């Protein structure tokens, strides 16, 4: 079915002039003369048989027809611009852009990236480590790994890693004048707090102490940290006892930098999820990286299964 559309130049001229309510500003935006804008608008009005502007004392005012037409054209041009941008994004070349929480990037993802490079040497990965939620409609980021309840409307979501927390500390705290032997011994040690966990309602010291049946310990005392990996590092540096997230503490537990002095482990209602727009999910580099992430999650789950049992 053929479409009888007004000339594109005339439509662009009107949309710009209507948006600015100025022929001069429209001309500057489109890099043409004011006379050219005026001519194109007049041509469009003749084509439609409607008046789109009133010219009052050197001021432009949209007519009723102009007020109806402006949002229609603005939306159409926005869709064209978005579609054009998507064409370039759909080009399956260049690096894969992913957004990851800094703590998971440092403690879980980066130490494993050499395996992905060995498996897919032709795919470069650009990792943006930040806590900001990605707006996939505006960003060049194609994939994210987020910590939450898994409710991400409009995105393809895959569970990557379920989570649990338990106390971790330097091995040196297991000995000395006041060694950590039982949960009650926390009374004599500094508690380290993960402020991210407090914000996202993950288990904190208050809920852990309640689950462990410990009383008489001020759960709120001790320093706090704005990044979960910092809490792990503080614990390894003998600054106190932290509640370690399973996957963030796993490597340090395996190496012996940290130990789990006692339980219990508390399951978190939040987990790590792979998220991406459905429109990009089947791009080769996105698909292969997602598959590799899930393989790594399964591998490390088997390797660290014993770490949370106590």
Phi, psi (5° rounding) for residue 170? -70, 145
- 156-168 sheet: strands from edge to edge: 125-129, 96-100, 143-148, 266-276, 156-168, 241-245, 191-194, 224-225
Written as tens digits, the pLDDT of the chain (310 aa) is 456 788 999 999 999 999 999 999 999 999 999 999 999 999 999 999 999 999 888 789 999 999 999 999 999 988 887 776 665 555 566 789 999 999 999 999 999 999 999 999 999 999 998 877 777 776 678 999 999 888 888 899 999 999 999 999 999 999 878 899 999 999 999 999 988 765 566 789 999 999 999 998 899 899 999 888 899 999 999 999 999 998 899 889 989 999 999 989 999 989 999 999 998 898 999 999 999 999 999 987 776 654 444 4
* Distance in Å from the first CA to the final CA of the chain: 71
Instruction: Determine if the pTM surpasses 0.85.
Output: no
Report strand pairing: 224-225 vs 191-194: parallel
Query: pLDDT digits over 231-253, tens only?
Result: 999 999 999 999 999 889 988 99
What pLDDT does 310 receive? 45
């Amino acid at each position: 079915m053929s479409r009888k559309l007004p000339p594109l130049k005339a439509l662009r001229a009107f949309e710009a002039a209507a948006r600015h309510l100025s022929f001069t500003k429209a001309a500057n935006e489109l890099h043409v003369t004011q006379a050219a804008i005026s001519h194109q608008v007049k041509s469009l009005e003749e084509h439609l048989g409607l008046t789109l502007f009133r010219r009052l004392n050197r001021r432009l005012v949209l007519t009723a027809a102009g007020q109806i037409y402006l949002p229609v054209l603005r939306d159409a041009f926005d869709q064209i611009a978005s579609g054009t941008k998507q064409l370039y994004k759909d080009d399956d070349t260049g690096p894969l852009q992913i957004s990851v929480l800094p703590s998971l990037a440092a403690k879980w993802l980066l130490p494993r990236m050499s395996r992905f490079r060995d498996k897919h040497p032709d795919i470069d990965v650009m990792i943006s480590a930040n806590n900001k939620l990605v707006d996939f409609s505006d960003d060049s980021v194609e994939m994210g790994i987020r910590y939450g309840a898994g409710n991400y409307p409009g995105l393809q979501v895959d569970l990557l890693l379920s989570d649990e927390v338990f106390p971790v500390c330097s091995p040196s705290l297991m000995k000395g004048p006041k060694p950590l032997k039982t949960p009650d011994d926390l009374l004599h040690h500094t508690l380290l707090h993960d402020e991210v966990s407090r914000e996202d309602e993950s288990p904190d010291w208050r809920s852990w102490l309640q689950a462990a049946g410990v009383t008489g310990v001020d759960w709120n005392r001790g320093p706090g940290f704005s990044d979960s990996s910092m809490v792990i590092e503080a614990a390894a540096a003998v600054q106190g006892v932290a509640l370690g997230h399973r996957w963030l503490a796993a490597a340090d537990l395996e190496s012996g930098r940290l130990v789990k002095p006692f339980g219990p482990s508390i399951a978190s209602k939040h987990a790590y999820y792979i998220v991406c727009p459905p429109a990009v999910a089947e791009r080769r580099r996105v698909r292969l990286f997602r598959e590799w992430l899930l393989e790594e999650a399964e591998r490390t789950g088997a390797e660290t299964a014993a770490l949370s049992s106590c």
